[in-house]
Each structure stands twice: as structure tokens, then as C-alpha cells.
Amino acid sequence: MPEITHRTVETNGIQLHIAEAGEGPLVLLLHGWPESWYSWRHQLHALAAAGYHAVAPDVRGYGRSDKPGAVEAYSLKNLLADFVGLLDVLGERTAVVVGHDWGAAMAWTCAALHPDRFRAVVGMSVPHLGRTPMPPTQLFKHMFGDRWFYILYFQEPGVAEAELEADVPRTMRTLLAGVPGFDTTAEVVRTRKKGDSFLTGIETPATLPAWLTEDDLAHIVKELQGSGFRGGLNRYRNMDRDWAELPELATVRIEQPALFMVGEKDPARAFAPVDLMKPLVPNLQEVLVIPGAGHWLQQECAAEVSAALLAFLKRLPT
């Protein structure tokens, strides 16, 4: 099995920790919330074994990467500059960018705004929806009214941090193995009221699913105990700023070859319709719905995701 190695590099004025494996064409793997490079552990091995240079950074705010204090430090503009700079550090003109959850939004935006650097794109769980007709928090207030919605709950600095960091092992066991607080279809989430929190009413499972070992969970918990949740939550607090700073996302098309993957049971499907992205991604080659999978796609169905990634990569022009 190819070895995963670790180093820290400087890009865009910050220190970014990366995990990497293999040699060959560069594949950049961007994680979501609240994760780290570790969510790509299976794909790092699979891509390296197939002749690719797979690189998974801890996105700023996570793991062993820098964690700037300012909310605005987590805007998409800053994050994209991190990744373009990472390509420069690695000595690569182009890469295929793959992202899951918030990493998918980053990957789509990398492809949209830097087509000369990202030659193909894969998004998981979150489709490319361009630019909403109004600032996102206004849209969510319009959509959800008085109902509880996790992104609005995350907006006030310090509130969600206090809840999620109070007992990180419980938070992550509940989030990964139980009903996630972002599942707007779950009864326990749908019936929440103002003043409720992300974990209100959700039971913490005693046993883990087959795809997640106790050792995996312990690793994830240790990383989040070290980094805290503030950096990841600040990404949500930049949604309106991104809307104002990147108006070109309303019309720019992603012309590169693209693939979208989503779990059949992913709660994000309830409020992120795939069909809306098709006019903006005309070279979308496939929408792959993986049966039985939930939100943590590349971990839950590691073999299927790796196989789909490799099939997509092999179809790309050299």
C-alpha cells in the first residue's frame, strides 16, 4: 500500500498541512465540515496506487494548518488563493480538484474561476449552484421562516463553538454515526424551535457504523480537540461575503470535464437540487447516486468512490 506522508508548506501567507501519496498527475482532495485530510485516507491510497499524486490538505482552520482569527479570513477568495498557491508550491501548472461538502463548493469555485489551473473537477454531496438570487442568509430566512436551520444557527460567532466543543467525542460520534443536525428531513430536526442547538434531541449512538472504527473516530476527535470548530464555522459566516465578492458566479460556466457524486441518503439532497447546476456545468459527464450511502460519502463507500474517481480520471485527455 502506498505510504501517506505529511509536510507543511507555505501558501498565500499561511502554513498549510498536507497529506500526500504517489507520483504522477496531481489530484487535489478538499475536505468539508468538520473534517480534515483524514476523510480522504482511502482515496489517497487508491489514487497513488493507480499512478497519481494525491494531495489532501487540512483546509485553513483545521488540523495542523494555520487558523487565522478573523472571520473574513475564511472567504472563498482566500481559500482559493490557498489552493492556487499550493499548486505553485508543488510545481504543478494544473490539477484535477475533488471536493466533498464545503470542499465541493471550493472545488467547483476553483474550476469556475481558475480554469487554467484546474483541468477537471469532481464534486461530492454539494452540487454547483452558482450564485443565489439574494444573499444566502436572506434566502435561508425566506425558505425556512421561523423554522430552525443549522446554517442560520452557525452565524453568531461563539454560539455553535461553545456547544460543539463542550464534548468533542460526543459531538463527533453523534454527527458521524447518528442523525446529523443538518438533516432537515429528520423529525428531530424539523420540530426544532428557535433557541435549540445543533445537537438538541439527537441521541448519541453507542455503536459505530461499519465504515467508521473507534480508532478512526479517536483520530478525528483528537484533531478537532486541537483545532477547535471556529475555523470551520467561519466558512459558513462568509456566505454573504462570498455572494458580494464573487458576482461572476451568477453566469460563469464550468467548461472542464466534471463529475458529481452523492449518497442516496445524503440529507443535503433535500435543499441542494442537482438539476440547477446542469446549465452551469455543461460538461458534467455523470451524476452518480451511490445506493445506501449518506453524507460521509468517501468514507462510507470508499471503494465505490475510489473506483468512480479513477474511471473519471482515466477518461480525461492527457
User: Which residues are tagged catalytic?
Assistant: 101, 295
Task: Please report where in the chains the cell 489530484 appears, as a residue.
Answer: 27
| Residue 156, C-alpha cell as written in the block | 453568531
Alpha helices in the chain (DSSP H): 41-49, 76-89, 102-113, 136-144, 150-153, 159-165, 168-177, 187-190, 214-227, 230-236, 239-245, 297-300, 302-315
| Residue 91, C-alpha cell as written in the block | 510545481
> Cβ contacts of residue 222 below 8 Å, gap of 6+?
none
- Give the rounded distance of the alpha carbon of 257 from its chain centre: 20
Helix (H) or strand (E) holding 139: helix 136-144
| Residue 250, C-alpha cell as written in the block | 451568477
Nearest Cα neighbor of 262 from 242, 277, 244 is 277
Reply yes or no: is the peptide bond before residue 34 cis, omega within 30 of 0: yes
**89 — alpha (psi -120 to 50), left (phi > 0) or beta?**
alpha
